[in-house]
Amino acid sequence: MLVNFTSNTKTRIMKKVIFMSMMSLFMTFSFTSCREETEKEKIINEMKDEGADIDVSEDGDKIKMETENRKVKIKTDDDGDVKIKDKKDNDN
């Protein structure tokens, strides 16, 4: 049994196909571009979990964190570049 589509029906079907394709593409990009933690955020969260003393400068460009055996300094310069100094005390 052959189905004979009219021109109008073909156009509606193609519009739906194109719309669904665009929506699936949009959803794919939305889910894959979800924000991942930066190295700076990972270190801050690690230090918080370890119970570190955290000092943040007034302008927020410098962060100092310290635990019993680890000191971390995170500095953001004017260009937005992040520099991380991580010193671990090893009692070996």
Please list the pLDDT of the chain residue by residue as tens digits (92 residues).
Answer: 566 767 788 888 899 999 999 999 988 887 766 666 688 888 889 999 989 999 999 888 899 999 988 999 999 888 888 899 999 876 54
The Cα–Cα gap between 31 and 80 comes to 26
Question: What is the reported pTM?
Answer: 0.56
pLDDT given for residue 5 in this prediction: 67
pLDDT given for residue 92 in this prediction: 47
The Cα–Cα gap between 74 and 39 comes to 10
DSSP-derived 3-state class of residue 60: coil
pLDDT given for residue 6 in this prediction: 73
pLDDT given for residue 71 in this prediction: 93
